[in-house]
Chain A
Amino acid sequence: MRKLPNRTQSRVFNRRAALMGLGQAGLTLALAGRLYYLQVLQADKYKLLADENRINLRLLPPSRGLIYDRFGLPLADNYPNYRAMLVAEQTEDLARTLADFAEIVPITERERAKIMKELSRNRPFTPIPVKEDLDWEQVSRVEINLPDLPGISIEVDQKRVYPFGGIAAHLLGYVSAPNEKDIEGDKDPLLSLPGIRIGKNGLERQYESPLRGQAGQSELEVNSVGRVIRELARDEGTPGKDLVTSLDIGLQQFVQQRLSAEFSGAAVIMDIYNGDILAMASTPTYDPSAFYRGLSPAEWQQLTSDEYHPLTNKAIAGQFAPGSTFKIATTIAAQQVGVTPAFNVFCPGYYTLGNMRFHCWKKEGHGHVDMPGAIQHSCDVFFYELARTIGIDAIAVAAKELGLGDVAGLDLPGEKPGVIPNRAWKKAALGQTWHPGETLINAIGQGFVLATPLQLCVMTARVANGGYAVKPHLFKANEPPKADGPSPYPKLNLQQSWFDVVKDGMDRVCNNQRGTAYASRITIPGMEMAGKTGSAQVRRITMAERATGVRKNEDVPWRQRDHALFVAFAPVHEPRYACAVVIEHGGGGARYAGPICRDMLIETQRRDPARRNPNNEGGRREMP
């Protein structure tokens, strides 16, 4: 009788178990459907995500291109930088390892603090730099003791070195860590690499893009905490291209050292045919390596507050009144508007315009002077009369043809344009009409006229090469044209004979006993130079001072002394080199700038970099 309910129980059980089974089957089908959805329908999406998870791209910095002088000597080089690295998880006693390491290579308190900060900021498997720039002895001592220094390893990367230090600092510039602005303006992912340095000035900045090269890439498999498991692929990237400059570092060294006796000044030497800058110096200079390791605030303060502005490349960014060197431009301008070389002026020592009196530098006057004679004697009165005749606008036209009043287009950042005034310029810049007296002043390179030493050198080169629009450059010209061959530059809209007059005058400046720079002439046969002096007045000489006698430059404070200028080319009859020297507040051009220019041109011709075959010097790598 109890069997009935028992059978009911089993019937109910079977029915309900079957129902449950249906439900269970449904749920299991849902699982299978979910697997299908994830592993078939969405598989591609998740495969991508899995790869994003596991693959970490790491940039490999390319080695920076080197900078060479024209003969293949490295001016900016990469040296190996041996660094001691520490991996925290590889040592059981971090403090002990550091202490043992410090016994081999001393660690300062500041360095220790930095190490500790880096250690706490990074994961234990990330290598932390402990000490940079180890020397060979330190490296070997660390290597020998490696078994006792768990976690320490030696790593090599590169550091930028300027073997010639401050010799070409203004030209090479320097590299340092990119700042926020650099990163903003440049989307190259390389800039985000710690330790990366980019060109901040000079050639390093000008040729940053080719020098930098293309970052390589390492495809790393990493785990969830970023530990590298293995390298999947590697692309070494493209190293930066080397740059061969037109510089002759030997000459550069001479020029820089010759200038270093002066407080402040600049000199430029160039090839008048192909525009190669052979040397360009600005004094005082600085050590570019300091920027690589990073300047301390005190060092930076000292560099920026120095009254002689060591950081400025005065050869391209120093704008000086050209003084009498500008008479070269005035002479060309006069001939351009039809004045003949025979134009003759009597110089009584002063010149009167209206009720104004303009003085010649020679109180007693020069008597009768013609055009070459006026250059030879640098007779101010002659040029006053010439200027009054032709007007300021004509002078400006010729000056611009000769390369003044606008940037020369040198491949170096920071070039200043100078000023070549005319009526329109004064109206625009000052809102005033031109005064006739200003024509006179500006014709002798005073007043508004400003030029950089580079521009003066270019002007001299264009005179010396007979009127070709040579442009200066620091990359080395591939095929240096022969001096007698056709110039690679277009002819200026000026006649050869006009330049002959100027060259004759400049020859007489140096090589005529009564020339203003006869004392600074080159006496070595075949190397004689032709030049033009300039002394740019920076203070106003009052009537009273004129009456009692103008004070000598040596008697006034440095800031009030004249700028001493000298431009020259050599050799005088077959010119190849042009040189411009500006000594800021140096005094008279003939007396102070002349000898410097002479020495430089002697050295230049002795070395004769334009004609020496650079390929024979070996070791040079070409920049395509």
Chain B
Amino acid sequence: MGLGPQLGVSARNRMTWRDKVAQISWPMIFLIGCIASIGFAMLYSAAHLSADPWMDRQAARFAVGLAMMFAVAMVDLRMLMRLVYPLYFVSVLLLVWVDFAGEIGMGAQRWIDLGVVQLQPSEIMKITLVLTLARYFHGLSYEDVGRPLSLVVPTVLVLLPAALVLKQPDLGTAGMLMMVAAAMFVVVGVRWWKFALVLAMGMGVAYYAWNSPVILHDYQKARIMTFMDPESDLQGTGYHITQSKIALGSGGVWGKGFGLGTQSHLDFLPERQTDFIFTMYAEEFGMVGGLVLLGLFVLLVAYGVVIAVRCKSQFGRLLAYGLSFNLFCYFFINTAMVMGLIPVVGVPLPLISYGGTVMMTVMIGFGLVLSVNIHRDQKIGRRLGNEDA
């Protein structure tokens, strides 16, 4: 996978711009370009074959995103590590702010209006949390990880933003934060029994809560049941998921053709330019198109994992892995949700769904993965600055 020539130790730690550019992983950028292009095409179709109002703006964001990706890719991992904790602090502050002063969007407080741009702090947190956990675990040895006490801090680091996001309420993002964090806990070597314990405790609490009339009212239970089985509610969410399945199924093997999806173009499909864009794509391009897109995502995730595996530093490894797993969670939750496999939670399809913050954070994430690849041979001490580690 042509990751460039081997460099000497000193050169590894002090790379020139030329060295860095030579290490940029072009196949990965090609994959990103392919997926984004599919996104543009679908936004063009969603607007009834018009660039306005979605495709042109999305393309502009992608261009900005590309620039940011390249810029981030150049950033030295050590410099990045120094920024992690302040970044985490700012992200949490933004989440607190949005909980109290955010705009209501989609029935939940998710947005901060900065005048020029609207910011979705929960999306930013997806990157920040991966950075933070990578930074924290970088400082632990395998033996440290084995000590339960050393897991207290990262658990708090995860639960705090997750709780804030849950309060918005944005179950999808909160779930994703927990899943990505859990994946990172797995790969740093947290013992399996600890996961089993947490899982058992969680189920116990859930069981207790479900059967206790004090904690959950009947109407709340009913809402949870609807959430778990949306098709029982044909007027609300059930209508959306039913229409989504009709769109998918009626697409058949080869699809109805570009711009010819009846379910999407006649407005039966909700949110066709955002959360349900995969449905529209699979309606117009069929199962074949759907599998191609899933394949592209799988390749992109696998590429990130390979970069992680090849990275010499624990920080870079965890960063690339966490971000790749984040991408996996994105496309899996989104597609599984529009196919009716899991409850509908507001998770967009990265690079394809219309939306500014997600595009930016995802592109920055790719930039970070690229940076890990470029700086894969850098040695970083447990305590920052100790380059001999």
Enumerate chain A residues within 8 angstroms of B113, measured Cβ to Cβ. none
Determine if A53 and B263 form an interchain contact, defined as CB atoms under 8 angstroms apart.
yes
**Residue count of chain A within 8 Å CB distance of chain B:** 43
In the complex, which residues of chain B have a beta carbon less than 8 angstroms from the beta carbon of A112? Answer: none
Cβ–Cβ contact B262 & A50, under 8 A: yes
Contacts of A10 in B (CB 8 A): 314, 317
Per-position binary interface string of chain B over residues 254-291, scored 1 when its CB falls under 8 Å from any chain A CB and 0 otherwise: 00000000110111100000000000001000110011
Selected from B142, B286, B317, B340, the residue in CB contact (under 8 A) with A39 is B286
Question: Is A524 in contact with chain B by the CB < 8 A criterion?
Answer: no
Bound complex: CA A2 to CA B144 (Å):
13
Interface 9-mer from A29-37, A191-199, A261-269, A388-396:
A29-37
Name A13's contact: one of B187, B250, B336 (CB within 8 Å): B187
The segment out of A40-48, A72-80, A285-293, A548-556 that lies at the interface is: A40-48
Say which one of A20-28, A157-165, A306-314, A442-450 lies at the interface with B: A20-28
Q: Which residues on the B side are within 8 Å of A43 (C-beta)?
A: 249-253
How far apart are the CA atoms of A366 and B249 in the complex, in Å? 99
* Interfacial chain A residues near B243, Cβ < 8 Å: 53, 224
Closest to A39 in B: B287
Residues in chain A near residue B382, CB distance under 8 A: 2
CB distance from A36 to the nearest CB of B (A): 6
Contacts A20-B186, A31-B335; A38 near B294 (Cβ below 8 A) = no
Are B189 and A38 in touch, CB under 8 angstroms? no
Interface residues on chain B, number (Cβ under 8 Å): 49
B341 within 8 Å of A by Cβ?
yes
Which residues of A lie under 8 Å from residue B339 when comparing CB positions? 31, 34-35, 38
CB of B230 to closest CB in A, whole Å:
15
Min Cβ gap A294→B in Å is 37
Interface residue? B332 (CB, 8 A): yes
Given A17-B309, A24-B328, A39-B282, A30-B341 contact (CB < 8 Å): yes
Q: Closest B residue to A30 by CB, please name it.
A: B341
Residues from chain A with a CB closer than 8 A to the CB of B298 are 25, 28
Q: Is the CB of A54 within 8 A of B287?
A: no
CA distance A45 to B141 in the complex (A): 56
Bound Cα distance A221, B260 (Å): 13
A35 is contacted by which of B263, B290, B308 (Cβ under 8 Å)?
B290
Tell me if B252 and A47 are in contact (CB < 8 A): yes
Considering the complex, give the chain A residue whose CB is closest to the CB of B254.
Answer: A39
Give every chain A residue within 8 A of B187 (Cβ-Cβ). Answer: 12-13, 16-17, 20
Docked-complex contact B142 and A50, CB < 8 angstroms? no
Query: B49 within 8 Å of A by Cβ?
Result: no
CB distance A17 to B142 under 8 Å? no
A14, B321: Cα distance in complex, Å: 11
Q: Tell me the bound Cα distance from A348 to B341 in angstroms.
A: 109
- Given contacts A10-B317, A17-B187, are A38 and B245 in contact (CB under 8 A)? yes
Residue contact B267 to A34, C-beta cutoff 8 Å: no
Question: Do A32 and B245 contact each other (CB < 8 Å), given the known contacts A21-B305, A53-B266?
Answer: no
In the complex, what's the smallest C-beta–C-beta distance from A413 to chain B, in angstroms?
Answer: 47
Q: Among A13, A32, A36, A49, which residue has its beta carbon within 8 angstroms of that of B246? A: A49
Enumerate chain B residues within 8 angstroms of A108, measured Cβ to Cβ: none
B325 and A9 form a contact (CB under 8 A): no
A43 to B341 CA separation, bound complex (whole angstroms): 17
Could you say which residues of chain A place their CB within 8 Å of the CB of B249?
38-39, 42-43, 45-47, 49-50
Interface of B is mostly: helix
- Tell which of A6, A8, A19, A31 touches B336, judged by Cβ atoms closer than 8 Å: A31
A residues in contact with B291, CB < 8 Å: 32, 35
| Chain A residues near B335 (CB-CB < 8 A) | 31
Chain B residues contacting A25 (CB-CB under 8 Å) are 298
- Residue A225 interfacial (CB < 8 Å): yes
The answer to whether B143 and A35 touch across the interface, beta carbons within 8 angstroms, is: no
A2 to B340, CA, bound (A): 49
Please report the C-alpha to C-alpha distance between residue A24 and residue B328 in the assembled complex, in whole angstroms: 8
Q: Is the CB of B341 within 8 A of A229?
A: no
- Cβ 8 A contact of A54, one of B189, B266, B290: B266
Interface code A413-430, partner B: CB below 8 Å = 1, 0 otherwise? Answer: 000000000000000000
* Cβ-closest chain B residue relative to A9: B142
Q: Given A2-B389, A27-B332, decide whether A53 and B294 contact each other with a Cβ distance below 8 A.
A: no
Q: How far is the CA of A332 from the CA of B290 in the complex (A)?
A: 94
Q: Is B247 among interface residues, defined by CB-CB distance under 8 A?
A: yes
CB within 8 Å for A53 and B246 given contacts A21-B305, A24-B328, A35-B290: yes
Shortest Cβ distance from B388 into chain A, in angstroms? 9
- Within 8 Å of chain B (Cβ to Cβ): is A222? yes
B263 to chain A: closest residue by CB: A50
Contact B266 A13 (CB under 8 A): no
A433 at the interface (CB under 8 A from B): no
Interface assignment of B323: CB less than 8 Å from any CB of chain A? no
Question: Are the CB atoms of B287 and A36 closer together than 8 Å?
Answer: yes
B294 touches A13 (CB 8 A): no
CA distance A519 to B250 in the complex (A): 88
Instruction: Flag if B294 contacts A16 (CB, 8 Å).
Output: no
**B183 in the interface (beta carbon within 8 A):** yes
With A38-B249, A223-B268 as given contacts, are A9 and B262 in contact (CB-CB < 8 Å)?
no
Given A31-B336, A221-B266, A224-B268, CB of A49 within 8 Å of CB of B250: yes
* Interface residue? A5 (CB, 8 A): yes
Task: Map CB proximity to B onto A258-287 as digits: 1 under 8 Å, 0 otherwise.
Answer: 000000000000000000000000000000
**Given known A-B contacts A14-B309, A20-B325, A5 and B301 have beta carbons under 8 A apart:** no
Q: How far is the CA of A32 from the CA of B332 in the complex (A)?
A: 11
Q: Which residue of chain A lies nearest to B268 when distances are taken between CB atoms in the complex?
A: A224
Contacts of B302 in A (CB 8 A): 21
Q: Point out the residues of chain B lying under 8 angstroms from A20, CB to CB.
A: 183, 186-187, 325
Residue of B at shortest CB range from A229?
B266
In the bound complex, what is the Cα–Cα distance between A20 and B251 (angstroms)?
A: 32
In the complex, the answer to whether A5 meets B252 with C-beta atoms within 8 Å is no
Q: Do B294 and A31 touch across chains, with their CB atoms under 8 A apart?
A: yes
Task: State which residues 317-332 of B face A: CB under 8 Å.
Answer: 317, 321, 325, 328, 332
A-B contact pairs, 10 of them (CB 8 A): A9-B141, A12-B189, A13-B309, A20-B325, A24-B328, A31-B339, A47-B250, A49-B249, A53-B246, A53-B262
Other A-B contacts than A20-B187, A50-B250, 11 sampled, CB-CB below 8 A, are A5-B143, A8-B142, A12-B189, A19-B186, A20-B186, A27-B336, A30-B341, A35-B282, A35-B287, A50-B247, A50-B268
B-side interface residues toward A, CB under 8 Å?
141-143, 183, 186-189, 243, 245-253, 262-263, 265-268, 282, 286-287, 290-291, 294, 298, 301-302, 305, 308-309, 314, 317, 321, 325, 328, 332, 335-336, 339-341, 382, 389
9 nearest CB pairs, A to B: A46-B249, A50-B250, A223-B266, A39-B287, A12-B189, A224-B267, A5-B141, A47-B250, A43-B252
